[in-house]
């Protein structure tokens, strides 16, 4: 039996395109149901519409004609349809005896198809794939398993449909849903002012749309889901409102009530890309770069949702942020929003911290108070892991009894950074190579602004920092991780450009295990 062509993958394959009749069918469907639909829902409409049309087309083609089957006998003048030849039809012009000892007696019919004469076997007594019982012929050609087509082709058709609808102004998309603009509820400026007032009553939010709608006195005769869709669309067009929920959810916040570090990326966290030759980095340096897991590094770590321990860098300690690095990023729910509200829970005290994921700045904001209260040092170990539900993460650090340790302290003298070793009480596990503190944040901040205004290069900053750090070590060597931590006190630089500069410039000499020496006699800024 012949499988209906609309049941085949070839029909719905790369060459499948949507016709105006398909779009009209979608439009009519919206007029009928009067509610938003997903692309997958709409794809089912297209598939059912196409199957129904194909059914009607085949029935029309078969009207007054016989389906060609090799087992049947035919006469001159009979009209036949050939399903295996894309339902070509023709009239029999000749009939003669066939000759093939292996097939036994049979007839040969001549048929005119598209102006050309072709011959086919008839009255054939042997089995043939095109033969079917009379009762099954029509059924085999039009009986399509629609649910199977939807299961196999629904996602593909949905993607093509979404691409097509996005080109048409009358259709509107929000998240996974589509709707017709002309069917949306009215949302006027008064509704938007009321929405702003409602959010302000709740400290800016976040509030779901369904919590806002009842306060707006919108048209009670419109379906709730249409009201929600329409309000969401209007809020997205208004800069006063920020959508801050994970993907698949909707929650709104007043933009002006978001923390300043969320509204604007703090200068200390901005990274202006520095051109460098990545080929200079040895496999060992690339491994070290991956270990540091800077949010601006080019390399990617495995995307797994598991416990992540990171070492706190000065810019993040200063601004109260967590780096949104390649290992940390997967811990947070996926979102289409530039800013996302999340909840962090201290894994020992169970204190809840409302934080913000700022994806374009690659950081999570809201940890300043927690860092200060727990006296977490630069270079301290902080850990994150998935919480009990999406949008909730468990936060902690390497707690230990306070001990007085020798740590590097940065100071500013004559507009230059200097370092010294002093004893400080430390109650957090830390990376000895990266711990760098300061008692003069304002002075260090002034150095950073000075370096920025003078557009100082990475090499010149390293030449200033290196001797100061080297004097703290009897071997006059400095580890690459120490340079990375110290350099980021006065300029935001990921490991890649820093490591490339160490390799490139002859004044920096490797001595093994990622330790380097500085040869002042070879120093010349290039």
pLDDT in tens, 296-309: 998 765 667 789 99
* pLDDT of 72: 85
Asked whether the predicted pLDDT for residue 1 surpasses 60, the reply is no
Q: In whole angstroms, what separates CA 228 from the centre of its chain?
A: 24
Strand partners, 420: 409
Query: pLDDT: is 89 or 22 the higher one?
Result: 22
Only one residue has tokens 């892991």, namely 385
Please report the pLDDT score of residue 16 as a whole number.
Answer: 87
* pLDDT (0 to 100) of residue 127: 77
> At 237, is the pLDDT very low, low, confident or very high (cuts 50, 70, 90)?
very high
pLDDT band for 134, please (50, 70, 90 cuts): very low
- Taken as a whole, the chain contains a residue count of 526
**Mean pLDDT of the region 339-362:** 94
Who's near 321: CB < 8 A, 6+ residues apart? 261, 266, 269, 315, 363, 364, 365, 366, 367
Query: For residue 141, is pLDDT > 80?
Result: no
Specify whether the backbone of 104 is left (phi greater than 0), alpha (psi in -120 to 50) or beta.
left
Indicate the SS3 state at residue 347: coil
How much is the average pLDDT of 8-21? 84
List C-alpha distances in Å: 452 to 206, 448, 487, 497: 37, 6, 13, 17
Q: Pick the residue with more confidence: 339 or 54?
A: 339
- Least confident range of 28-37, 115-124, 224-233, 349-358: 115-124
Q: What is the mean pLDDT of the chain?
A: 89
Beta carbons within 8 Å of 374's beta carbon, 6+ residues apart: 397, 427, 428
- Specify the pLDDT at position 77: 86
State pLDDT tens for residues 155-183: 999 999 999 999 999 999 998 899 999 99
Residue 480 pLDDT grade (very low, low, confident, very high; cuts 50, 70, 90) = very high
* Mean pLDDT of all residues in 374-397: 92
Asked whether the beta carbons of 235 and 195 are under 8 A apart, the reply is yes
**Torsion angle of alpha carbons 99, 104, 110, 114, nearest 10°?**
-110
pLDDT band at residue 254 using 50, 70 and 90 as cut-offs = very high
Rounded to the nearest 10 degrees, how much is the dihedral formed by the CA atoms of 387, 392, 393, 395?
-110
- For the chain, give every domain's residue range: 5-61+144-174, 70-131, 184-257, 401-522
Q: Is 173 exposed, middle or buried (0-12, 13-18, 19+ CB in 10 A)?
A: middle
Separation of alpha carbons 434 and 165, rounded Å: 53
3-state SS, residue 131:
coil
Q: What is the DSSP letter of 68?
A: P
Q: How far apart are CA 50 and CA 54, in angstroms?
A: 6
Q: What is the rounded distance in angstroms from the CA atom of residue 336 to the CA atom of residue 342? A: 14
Confidence bin at 282 (pLDDT 50/70/90): very high
Q: Rounded CA gap, 460 and 491, in Å? A: 12
pLDDT score at 503: 96
Residue with tokens 């009480």: 425
Give residue 135's pLDDT band: very low, low, confident or very high (50, 70, 90): very low
For the record, the structure tokens of 350 come out as: 């169970």
Instruction: Identify the burial level of 135 via C-beta atoms within 10 angstroms of its C-beta, where 0-12 means exposed, 13-18 middle and 19 or more buried.
Output: exposed
Other beta carbons within 10 angstroms of residue 35's beta carbon come to 14
pLDDT-above-70 percentage for the chain = 94
Put simply, whether the predicted model's pTM sits higher than 0.85 gets the answer no
User: And the tokens for 250?
Assistant: 């909707």
pLDDT value, residue 273: 93
Give the whole-number percent of the chain exceeding pLDDT 90.
Answer: 65
- Is the pLDDT score of 337 beyond 90? no
For residues 211 and 190, give the distance between their C-alpha atoms in angstroms, rounded to a whole number. Answer: 17
Of residues 16 and 128, which shows the higher confidence score?
16
Nearest to 61 by CA among 38, 34, 83: 83
Query: Which residues neighbour 161 within 8 Å (Cβ) at sequence distance 6 or greater?
Result: 18, 22, 26, 39, 42, 43, 46
pLDDT for the residue numbered 2: 53
Report the CATH architecture of 70-131: Roll (2.30)
User: How is the beta sheet containing 381-386 ordered, strand by strand?
Assistant: 308-311, 381-386, 392-397, 339-346, 352-358, 363-365, 321-323
Mean pLDDT check: name the lowest of 3-7, 157-161, 235-239, 423-427: 3-7
| DSSP state string for 278-318 | GGGS-HHHHHHHHHHT-TT-S-------S-EEEEPPHHHHH
Give the tens place of pLDDT for each residue, 184-236.
Answer: 999 999 999 999 999 999 999 999 999 999 999 898 889 999 999 999 999 99
Confidence of residue 133 (pLDDT cuts 50, 70, 90): very low
Give CATH for domain 184-257.
1.10.10
């Amino acid at each position: 039996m012949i499988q209906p062509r609309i049941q085949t993958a070839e029909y719905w394959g790369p060459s499948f395109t949507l016709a105006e009749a398909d779009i009209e069918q979608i439009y009519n469907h919206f007029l009928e149901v009067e509610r938003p639909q997903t692309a997958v829902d709409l794809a089912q409409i297209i598939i059912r519409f196409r199957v129904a049309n194909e059914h009607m087309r085949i029935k029309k083609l078969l009207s007054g004609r016989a389906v060609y089957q090799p087992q049947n006998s035919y006469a001159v003048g009979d009209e036949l349809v050939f399903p295996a030849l894309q339902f070509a039809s023709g009239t029999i012009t000749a009939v003669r005896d066939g000759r093939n000892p292996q097939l036994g007696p049979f007839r040969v019919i001549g048929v005119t198809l598209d102006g050309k004469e072709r011959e086919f076997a008839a009255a054939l007594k042997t089995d043939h794939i095109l033969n079917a019982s009379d009762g099954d012929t029509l059924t085999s050609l039009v009986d399509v398993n629609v649910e199977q087509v939807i299961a196999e082709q629904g996602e593909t058709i949905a993607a093509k449909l979404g691409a097509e609808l996005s080109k048409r102004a009358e259709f509107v998309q929000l998240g996974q849903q589509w709707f017709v603009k002309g069917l949306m509820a009215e949302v006027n400026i008064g509704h938007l002012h009321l929405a702003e007032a409602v959010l302000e009553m709740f400290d800016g939010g976040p509030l779901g749309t369904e919590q806002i709608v009842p306060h707006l006195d919108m048209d009670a005769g419109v379906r709730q889901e249409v009201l929600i869709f329409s309000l969401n669309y209007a809020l997205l067009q208004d800069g006063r409102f920020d959508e801050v929920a994970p993907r698949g959810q909707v929650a709104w916040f007043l933009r002006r009530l978001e923390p300043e570090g969320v509204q604007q990326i703090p200068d200390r966290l901005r990274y202006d890309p520095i051109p460098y030759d990545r080929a200079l980095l040895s496999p060992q340096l690339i491994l070290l770069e991956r270990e540091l897991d800077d949010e601006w590094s080019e390399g990617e770590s495995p995307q797994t949702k598991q416990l992540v321990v990171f070492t706190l860098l000065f810019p993040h300690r200063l601004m109260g942020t967590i780096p949104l690095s390649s290992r940390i990023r997967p811990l947070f729910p996926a979102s289409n929003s530039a800013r996302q509200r999340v909840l962090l829970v201290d894994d020992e005290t169970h204190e809840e911290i409302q934080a913000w994921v700022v994806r374009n700045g690659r950081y999570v904001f809201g940890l300043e108070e927690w860092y200060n209260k727990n006296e977490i040092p630069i270079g301290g170990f902080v850990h994150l892991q998935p919480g009990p539900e999406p949008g909730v993460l468990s936060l902690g650090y390497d707690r230990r009894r306070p001990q007085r340790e020798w740590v590097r302290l940065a100071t500013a003298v004559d507009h230059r950074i200097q370092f010294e070793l002093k004893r400080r009480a430390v109650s957090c596990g830390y990376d000895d190579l990266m711990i760098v503190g300061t008692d003069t944040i304002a002075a260090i901040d002034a150095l950073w602004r000075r370096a920025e205004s003078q557009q100082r290069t990475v090499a010149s900053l390293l030449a200033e920092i290196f001797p100061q750090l080297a004097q703290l070590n009897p071997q006059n060597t400095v580890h690459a991780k120490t340079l990375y931590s110290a350099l980021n006190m006065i300029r935001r630089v990921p490991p890649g450009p820093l490591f490339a500069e160490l390799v490139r410039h002859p004044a920096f000499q490797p001595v093994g295990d990622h330790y380097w020496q500085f040869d002042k006699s070879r120093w010349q800024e290039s």
